[in-house]
Structure 1
Amino acid sequence: MEAEILGCKVQNSLPHSFGSWPWLFQMHGSKKKTCTFFDPINNGLEERILPEFLQGKACLGCYGEWILLADELTRECFFLSITSFSKIYIPPFPEFPDFFHAVVSITSPPNTSNCIVILVCSAKTFLLVCSPGRKKWKKVPLKYFNKNAGSLRGPSIIYNEQLFVMVNMTVTLVIDVAPLIRGSVKMTVIDEFKPCPITYSWYTYFVECTGDLFLIIMHSYGYGQLIINFEVRRLELSCNSIHWRRVQDIGDHAFFLAGCSGRSFPANKAWGVQPNCIYTPGYYSDGVRLYTFCLDDQVLTFTFLPENSGGLDRLQWAFPTKWLVSVLLIAL
């Protein structure tokens, strides 16, 4: 079956090579009834009609086979198993946060008793916390902001049962996850770091890779915030301190950044993915660029991807995994 939406041919099946190498995909919420797929290897873009129960939904995060979906208009929120298509509901999102651009962290699968969902909203001084079976979200103020200026920056990750979240781009809060559902906070602060080189502005990402936690700093400059450089720091723990140490090597993996999240994946030269590199898309007046930054020689390059009328909101990477492909073939 084919249809015509916004002048672009769309189908109700997955692209042929989806799942064979890293792809970018995007669910548009209420903007469009399709899912957009970018093929960075063959420089392709395809639209696929979403099944009716996925239309209007935004994909906010995932844990294993479970994806977290929210309706942009009704704020209904539920986990969907992409192997059984069963649903587990959590409370609808509150009215005040812009959940479409918030960062969601999930501790464990939603069908387990210790699942906690944490919503981090930029420019706020509190977290929103809930779990399946609860009737509403719990607002958890962070006392750090009683004595310090600033607010949450947004990027976050759960690592070793702790939530890592940025404050004003340079300070990291490390918060024990388990007490949050009761409204209590046990927190450590990683002191302010100085990015190198210091540029007009920068953005941060967290990536877990082979048991280590990394902080990626993406530097940008000038009108349109063009990406100009990256630096990578690894979390270092000692008896007396916790800090970020700058490194030049991430081994045989590559880092993939998009939206507010980052992932690591073993590099495969057959896909055109090089080890010790960072890949991320950027949207500018001249089109969608896919940047590659090589840590070996500190060289930044980019290629153009086909134009996408939906912008880059909620753009995510999909990697070759058996459960992802088999299930999406059923869903789409």
Structure 2
Amino acid sequence: MRTRKETKQSLDEEGKKSIEEKGEDMFPFGFGYQPWLIQLHGRKKDTQNFMNPYNNCIEEKKIRQFKGKLYLGCFGEWLLLTDESTTETYFLHLTLNSNLTVHLPPFNRKLFEFFGRCVVSDSPTSPECMVTFVGRRSNAILYCRPNMDTKWIKVSLPTDLEQNCCFTGQVIRCKEKIYAIHHCGNTHALRVVAINESSLLMEDSTWTIINMPETVNDYNWHHLVASGEDIFLVSVLTSPYRGNPTNYTIHLLETSDLSWKRVKSIGGCVFFLSGIHNAALPASLAGLQHDCIFVVNVKAEGIYRICMQDQTVSLSSPLNRPKHKIRKLFWVMPTRPWEKKHRNLNNLPHCIGTNKGHSTYFHKEEKKEERCKVDISRPWADMPIELVELLLPRLSLFDCLRLQSICKAWNSLSHHVQKAQVYPWLMYTENDSCLWRLFDPVYKNEYSIDMKWLGIGDDLTFHYSKDGWVLTSTKDYNSLFIVNPLKREYFSLPNFNSRRYVDKDLSFSSAFSSAPTSPDCVVVILEITLECVLQISTWSPGEEKWNTMSFHDEFDTILPCKPVFSRGEFYWYRRGGELLVLNPYKKTRQVLEVKAPIMLKPSKRVMECHLVDSGEDLITVFRGRTTDPMRIFKLDRINMVWKKLHDMGGVTLFLDRRTTLATSCLEKLCRNQIYISGFSDINHRKRSAFYSLETKEYHPKKHCNLKAPMNCIWIEPNLMTMPNNSKAFCTNQNWSGINEPNLTS
């Protein structure tokens, strides 16, 4: 006689077998009421993955109509698919009803490879429907009317646009016009071609050229998005090794004069970008926070979520490492009104109310830990001041800021803030704010510092930090200065004529040897031109201009890592993995034959490398995907070889693509850890993210929703330079009975 468990398993297997035989597997719960990302697997696998951006859930379903198909676009309740084998192209209704399928004229397989995305003017069942494909690496357009034409009609661009130019395949439709990104091969410039849809039916077509904003030509990915009657251009810069987004810009097209205006909001909407078909959805319909962008990148780990409000990027949902094309990943937008019964209140961080366009979020209430009852029979004032002085080096800055509020007797403590125990902080900026955030990953406290005194605004970029000083620039990279946010001091550098040839975040790298108040300070900037010429510029305090040296055939179009100053010289990797050494005082340069322990080819897009100075040792760190362990090596200067490290002897690293710091940590829990520039934000309480050399794992283990600020850098706070009564900090913590420090006036 079978047990209840065995009976249940038997019924489950029979039900699963019945579904497989009939092909009746249904869409996941909530399909049609929220956005979903569908991952096709081609002919080799019968199932598909449905990814939920709300709760990072991936469900595997079997939809027979999706097997062996490539995705061309989603238009309302219709999917435009093509067969991977026969290139048969047709519209499939989301009800999967075969009677509603609308077939298109036969598509030549060879011709299909040269055409990218498409737009549809109306419902496929309408006689006015027009399907338009824009070329990819070509200068032509294909269109047809499914209910009228029996073949595809090809339209070529005018002759004055055909000189080494081609479409990139990116296209949208807005107000009966088609907008497509066009690439000029001679100047490597991008532009947008606007085409009147009705003119395609006539011999005299109307074309309008819209120049791109100059600031976006250096970005990797460009997405045109139509949101209502507005047209947005989203440019996303990704890491050449790991493929994760590192920066972005958004421009709005002014239809009056066809010019682009940079914006910091997308009108309370949510953008869904997949590379094939982009969509915009009001945040109230999506049930998500407004001004967010979801980007699908198959060369990275999955779906990334860019939050414009706090300028952070996070991995929203991982992908099952697809080996296929981007045409097998696509977004499906909601087609039915959002109903309350379809909200899963246990899993989804949906908004429950709005106030002037801003969403309010709810979270599960966490159980409060019972506080230990402490019986204090004697007042704190009875503690000898000498004993309190001994405790100061063991206290965090947060505790030292609260110290004088404990009792009046402790107000006589001298330099209590300077004696606090501090480790590197993650400094980052948010949108439309002159407050710079300072996150302490060890003690998990956060501070804010007012930078209005700088008088430059919030549109800044951090490049390098050392001894509490940060090399900063404006967005155009021409205005450079070194600022100490704690001392409220800064040094302006001479104007730097930046060469805008390739991606700035990839070809522009900088560092300095010591604080600018030191006479030995040297600032070095490495920049690569399009011709792969390395420009080395140096500057020291007192000089009125930059000293520049040029070297040929040293690099590709990117720099493998940031330079680091160690033992009086700057070190960085060459293209082939050798170490380049620059002596800024003797103006000499040499190449060390020691090779990098891991190949540095960016085409692999697997590992990013870092060089770190840990006192007497030069360390290199290689970081891959979140599922791969970090690899750490130390340079043996005697034998000139890299030796792998399994233990760092109590040293803690703070890793970032701009600056990596090494420090000895007194806290035992922080030793042999590598902190990364990210944190989890649960109930507005930040938790640090790190990699442990002992467990060989990342913490937290789930990297989904781990936020990484776009513009951030590790900084070593030098509290000895601060006045004792400084009130530069505003803690983001609230406590009862203690006066919170105010911002600097």
Tell me which interval the TM-score lies in, with the shorter structure as reference length.
Answer: 0.7 to 0.9
Q: CA separation of 1:269/1:320 partners in 2, compared to 1, >3 Å: closer, same or farther?
A: closer
**Structure 2 counterpart of 1:59, one-letter code:** Y
Structure 1 unaligned spans of 5+: 4-9, 325-332
Contact 2:119 2:172 in 1 (8 A): yes
Secondary structure, counterpart of 2:110 in structure 1:
coil
- In structure 1, the residue matched to 2:208 is 188
Q: CA separation of 1:155/1:147 partners in 2, compared to 1, >3 Å: closer, same or farther?
A: closer
Contact 2:294 2:304 in 1 (8 A): yes
Q: CA separation of 1:77/1:306 partners in 2, compared to 1, >3 Å: closer, same or farther?
A: closer
Kindly indicate whether residue 158 of structure 2 is the aligned counterpart of residue 140 of structure 1: no
Please list, as runs of the form range in 1=range in 2, the aligned pairs for 1:155-234 lying within 5 A after superposition: 155-168=170-183, 170-182=190-202, 184-196=204-216, 199=218, 201-234=219-252
Q: Which moved more, 1:186-195 or 1:57-66?
A: 57-66
Structure 2 unaligned spans of 5+: 1-14, 18-22, 184-188, 339-745
- In structure 2, the residue matched to 1:6 is none
Contact 1:119 1:127 in 2 (8 A): yes
C-alpha offsets along residues 138-157 of structure 1, whole Å, 9 cap, x if unaligned?
11111155454321011101
Q: 1:306 and 1:214 mapped to 2: Cα distance?
A: 27
Q: 2:264 and 2:25 mapped to 1: Cα distance?
A: 43
- In structure 1, the residue matched to 2:326 is 313
Match of 1:123 among 137, 149, 167: 137
Secondary structure, counterpart of 1:179 in structure 2:
helix
Contact 1:214 1:233 in 2 (8 A): yes
> What TM-score do the two structures reach when normalised by structure 2?
0.39
Q: Which moved more, 1:259-268 or 1:144-153?
A: 144-153
Secondary structure, counterpart of 1:195 in structure 2:
helix
Secondary structure, counterpart of 2:111 in structure 1:
coil
Q: 2:113 and 2:227 mapped to 1: Cα distance?
A: 27
Kindly indicate whether residue 52 of structure 2 is the aligned counterpart of residue 39 of structure 1: yes
Q: CA separation of 1:195/1:311 partners in 2, compared to 1, >3 Å: closer, same or farther?
A: farther
Match of 1:66 among 78, 81, 85: 78
**Structure 1 counterpart of 2:128, one-letter code:** N
Contact 1:212 1:234 in 2 (8 A): yes
Q: 2:59 and 2:68 mapped to 1: Cα distance?
A: 19
Q: 2:138 and 2:268 mapped to 1: Cα distance?
A: 37
Q: 1:255 and 1:209 mapped to 2: Cα distance?
A: 9
Q: 1:86 and 1:227 mapped to 2: Cα distance?
A: 39
C-alpha offsets along residues 103-161 of structure 1, whole Å, 9 cap, x if unaligned?
01111112222211111231011111111132211111111554543210111011111
**Structure 2 counterpart of 1:255, one-letter code:** F
Contact 2:298 2:321 in 1 (8 A): no
> What TM-score do the two structures reach when normalised by structure 1?
0.82
Q: CA separation of 1:253/1:118 partners in 2, compared to 1, >3 Å: closer, same or farther?
A: same
Secondary structure, counterpart of 2:71 in structure 1:
strand
**Structure 1 counterpart of 2:71, one-letter code:** C
- In structure 1, the residue matched to 2:108 is 94
Q: Which moved more, 1:298-307 or 1:133-142?
A: 298-307
Q: Which moved more, 1:296-305 or 1:246-255?
A: 296-305
Structure number with the higher strand fraction is: 1
C-alpha offsets along residues 284-322 of structure 1, whole Å, 9 cap, x if unaligned?
46x32x222222333323345252545562312223332
- In structure 2, the residue matched to 1:113 is 127
Q: Which moved more, 1:182-191 or 1:98-107?
A: 98-107
**Structure 2 counterpart of 1:190, one-letter code:** I
Q: CA separation of 1:29/1:43 partners in 2, compared to 1, >3 Å: closer, same or farther?
A: same
Shift of 1:177: 0.9
Q: CA separation of 1:323/1:130 partners in 2, compared to 1, >3 Å: closer, same or farther?
A: farther
Match of 1:55 among 63, 67, 74: 67
**Structure 1 counterpart of 2:232, one-letter code:** F
Shift of 1:248: 0.7
Taking only aligned residues, the RMSD between alpha carbons, in angstroms, comes to 3.0
Match of 2:309 among 264, 275, 296: 296
User: Percent of pairs identical after alignment?
Assistant: 29
Report how many aligned residue pairs link the two structures. Answer: 311
Contact 2:212 2:260 in 1 (8 A): no
Shift of 1:242: 0.8
Choose between structure 1 and 2 for higher RCO, CA contacts under 8 A separated by at least 6 residues: 1
Contact 1:29 1:71 in 2 (8 A): no
Q: 2:160 and 2:241 mapped to 1: Cα distance?
A: 31
Q: CA separation of 1:115/1:98 partners in 2, compared to 1, >3 Å: closer, same or farther?
A: same
Q: CA separation of 1:145/1:126 partners in 2, compared to 1, >3 Å: closer, same or farther?
A: farther
**Structure 2 counterpart of 1:2, one-letter code:** K
**Structure 1 counterpart of 2:277, one-letter code:** S
- In structure 2, the residue matched to 1:78 is 90
